[in-house]
Amino acid sequence: MVVFSDGETSLNGQVGQLSSIVVWSQGNVVVEKDVGDKTNNEAEYLGIIEALEWLLKNVPGEKNVVLSDSQFVLNQLMHQYHFREKHLRPYAEKAWNLLIELQNTTLKWIPRERNKAGLYIDAKNGRGIYQPFLFKKNPTLVR
């Protein structure tokens, strides 16, 4: 199973920001949440965590790939970057624990323009070019 993950923050680092995450799989939004006042990196981590939790609940034994456009978060999860921002480490630990449970799951970076979860967020917020070939006429929220 392939899932796309993205997190975004409306006013990164400013008071009153709102963050949301989206997980996209098989042509549908499978998780969409507002996560409150978070940094962009926190929102990206939460998107990956939600993707992993969704996979664990729905397809735990399958070979899975989580696609994200956050090089920073993926490099931290792959032990390529150190944790200068200590508040991010608990997010990484949660993701690592989920990856242990999902033994056949890998994380992979993709460019933003190929991230269907990110494109969904952009289209929903009126940013970027809406690319209808990526979406069904009425993307449904699967719970």
- Considering only 3-12, 41-50, 96-105, 112-121, which range has the smallest mean pLDDT? 3-12
Question: For residue range 64-96, what is the model confidence (pLDDT) as tens digits?
Answer: 999 999 999 999 999 999 899 899 999 999 999
> Does the residue 115 lie in any domain?
yes
Query: Which of the listed ranges 13-17, 118-122, 125-129 does the model predict with the highest average pLDDT?
Result: 118-122
89-101 vs 40-58: helix axis angle to the nearest 10? Answer: 20
> Does the residue 68 lie in any domain?
yes
> Does the residue 141 lie in any domain?
no
> Does the residue 139 lie in any domain?
no
Rg (Cα) of the chain, in Å, rounded?
14
Residue 33: which of 3, 5, 55 has the closest Cα? 5
Q: What are the strands, taking DSSP E only, across 1-143?
A: 2-9, 19-25, 28-36, 64-68, 105-109
The pTM for the full model equals 0.85
> Does the residue 12 lie in any domain?
yes
> Does the residue 50 lie in any domain?
yes
Domain encompassing residue 100:
2-134
Question: For residue range 12-62, what is the model confidence (pLDDT) as tens digits?
Answer: 555 555 678 888 888 888 998 988 888 889 999 999 999 999 999 999 889
> Does the residue 143 lie in any domain?
no
Domain of 96, CATH number, reads 3.30.420.10
> Does the residue 129 lie in any domain?
yes
Query: Domain total for the chain?
Result: 1
pLDDT for position 128 = 63
